[in-house]
Structure 1
Amino acid sequence: MTDVPTLTDGTVVVRAWRDGDVEPSVAGQDAEVDHWFGQPGGLTVEHQREVVERWRAEAREGRRISFVVALADDETVPVGNVELRRIDEHQAELSWWLYAGQRGRGSATRAVRVVVDWALTEAAQGGAGYSRVQARVEPENQRSMRVATRSGLRREGVQRVALGTGDRAETEAYVVLARLASDPPLSEPGAFRALLNSFLPRKRAIAQMLVRDESTPEPRVLLCGLTYKQDWDLPGGVVEVGESPHVAVAREVTEELALDIPAGPLLLTDWLPPWGGWDDALCLVFDGGTHPAALLEQVVPQAREIREAAFLTLDEVAERAADFTTRRVAAALARVGAAGDGPGYSESGRPV
């Protein structure tokens, strides 16, 4: 790579560094740039000139392209930077920043989009474009998160890093966002939906079944003693991606207990707040109907997860289960026979 191209969308221009850009770039450094990019507060013109020369050498070697961002109506005045760093022959990584007084006008989003479009489609490597361009953004850097998503980079996940090994000493994690050359153009509705789907909140769903003993006047429900925790719980489990909760609960009961019990109506939706290292979740409790006590003779516990299963009264549930599970069982029992009122809703088993 010997030439840094000039790119534009008609509003912003990204171009190679010029000697006259050095002093304005130093003047534009402020506390925000210092915070996220670790620039020393006393950045000098001489040091910046050295950095620019190093960037030019790296561009010639095909390792890094540092673009100046300017406005199309006066491209002589730098307003920020976009960097494109080569990871390997297929991938590159982005970073960007705007100078003091230049933020909040959409210039970063426009500049990043222009660079990404070029990197994925044009001669970013002296021949063919990259197949993937990524950015790693600290979760607290909400301004850059908005730029990344508005530029069409889809959220892929969180990369954890050991303290002291990131770009900043305080960095503990990066959100990784990327676009692929095979992604549809941002103008297509499907591309916009996929982009939203990549970063909108996702909530874990758990499906459980309330199976009751028909042989006693006092309510008894089927609970499982689990291998991975002390507390007992209703049969069921996590809903798989793309799976119906109604299907999931019957599948879990079959896998865990070897019982073929169709799931009935939804009795209760219980929101579980974050707890013990888990994120929050929605627990959907479905009616498993009433059965003879002899049902227990058919149970074949899945050894990896289930120690045993038993029909328990509410008092016995309270002795063996967590308090929020006890409340959830009681709330679900209260909905049995109340189908005309629809399913109930609770939070950690407490009615709302």
Structure 2
Amino acid sequence: MSKQPTTVTTVAEGVARISWLPDVHVSGLGSAVDVVRREVEAALAAHVRVEALVDPADEAAQRVATWSGLRREGVMRGVTVEGEAVDRIVYARLRDDVPAHEPEGFRALLNSFLPRKRAISQMLVRDEDGRVLLCQLTYKQDWDLPGGVVEVGESPQLAVGRELEEELGLVLPAGDLLLTDWLPPWSGWDDALCLVFDGGVHPAAILDRVVAEPREIRSAAFCTLEEARERCADFTARRVESALRNLGGAPAYVESGSPVES
């Protein structure tokens, strides 16, 4: 007796898990999508969620999952399959998701699997002697410009102002964008974009108003470029120099702090 091409199993209350054999792909992507989509629709009649766990190495199965209307949710690590711990990509559709054939649903489907890049906003704050405000961080040895990660749905320009208020107790609106710095993957981090905004010139006494967030900030100080080179990671020091060079100019683009040759 041949196995069914698809299997739907209830794995929790209101949750079904669908899987399919490689044979489903034999007739082509369109045919496979039609089969899986029908099974997903049928399962949603009795469940609020239908999910699929797909091998990251199986590109064909990933395409079938996507075009069947299942949204990519992330990677589940260390799933036990046939006694072996493996990684699986989680795809799912909820009963109240907008269907993929409608514009909003299609956009949500694309949004679930298209690449996302982390954004970091920082502020270049100077004193009247041209020194740059730097922070000594609790979670790494290097000093850095004040700022932090942009939240989902948050404006980068507003994010850096929020970070300064949360971490230093300073209310400094961000001015013009000075620099876009692409950071390649490094030491466990994925790549990211760092946006440096102009924080203007302020009296050095502004440090008296600093209230450091103790979980993240050890101290803050205005530093010369030479001090920045001594205290910061090399790419951070390059970013500071590039931002200073670009004051009053159009926003520049650098990679790991260094200008890119055209």
TM bin (shorter chain): over 0.9
Question: Would you identify which runs of 4 or more consecutive aligned residues in structure 1 move more than 6 Å?
Answer: none
What is residue 81 of structure 2 aligned with on the other side? 166
Q: CA deviation at 1:89?
A: 3.5
Q: Distance in 1 between matches of 2:7 and 2:198?
A: 57
1:197 and 2:108 equivalent? Answer: no
Out of 262, 274, 295, which is 2:206 matched to? 295
1:347 and 2:260 equivalent? Answer: no
Out of 7, 22, 41, which is 1:117 matched to? 41
| SS of corresponding position for 1:182 | coil
Aligned positions of 1:1-352 closer than 5 A = 19=1, 22=2, 67=4, 81-99=5-23, 102-121=26-45, 129-161=46-78, 165-167=80-82, 169=84, 172-214=86-128, 216=129, 219-338=130-249, 342-352=250-260
Q: Distance in 1 between matches of 2:55 and 2:27?
A: 18
Provide the aligned length of Structure 1 versus Structure 2: 260
**1:296-352 superposed Cα distances (whole Å, 9 cap, x missing partner):** 1111111111111011111110100001100111111111021xxx20001100111
Change (3 A) 1:117 1:267: same
Change (3 A) 1:325 1:200: same
Q: Distance in 2 between matches of 1:98 and 1:166?
A: 17
Confirm or deny: 8 A CA contact 2:25 2:60 kept in the other structure: no
The one-letter amino acid of 1:166's match is V
Q: TM-score, normalised by structure 1?
A: 0.71
The one-letter amino acid of 1:282's match is L
**1:214-258 superposed Cα distances (whole Å, 9 cap, x missing partner):** 1x2xx3100000011100000000111111011000111111111
Gaps of 5+ in 2: none
| SS of corresponding position for 1:172 | strand
Confirm or deny: 8 A CA contact 1:97 1:108 kept in the other structure: no
Change (3 A) 1:180 1:240: same
Gaps of 5+ in 1: 1-18, 23-51, 53-66, 68-80, 122-128
Change (3 A) 1:88 1:101: closer
Q: Distance in 2 between matches of 1:168 and 1:156?
A: 24
Change (3 A) 1:142 1:167: farther
Q: CA deviation at 1:211?
A: 0.2
**Structure of higher CA gyration radius:** 1
Q: CA deviation at 1:145?
A: 0.6
Q: CA deviation at 1:115?
A: 0.6
Q: CA deviation at 1:266?
A: 0.3
| SS of corresponding position for 1:202 | coil
Confirm or deny: 8 A CA contact 1:157 1:177 kept in the other structure: yes
Aligned-residue sequence identity (percent) comes to 60
The higher-RCO structure (CA 8 Å, 6+ apart) is: 2
Q: Distance in 2 between matches of 1:177 and 1:101?
A: 18
Q: Distance in 2 between matches of 1:179 and 1:167?
A: 25
Q: Distance in 2 between matches of 1:117 and 1:346?
A: 48
Change (3 A) 1:345 1:168: farther
Confirm or deny: 8 A CA contact 1:96 1:108 kept in the other structure: no
**1:17-37 superposed Cα distances (whole Å, 9 cap, x missing partner):** xx5xx4xxxxxxxxxxxxxxx
Confirm or deny: 8 A CA contact 1:98 1:108 kept in the other structure: no
Q: Distance in 2 between matches of 1:103 and 1:325?
A: 53
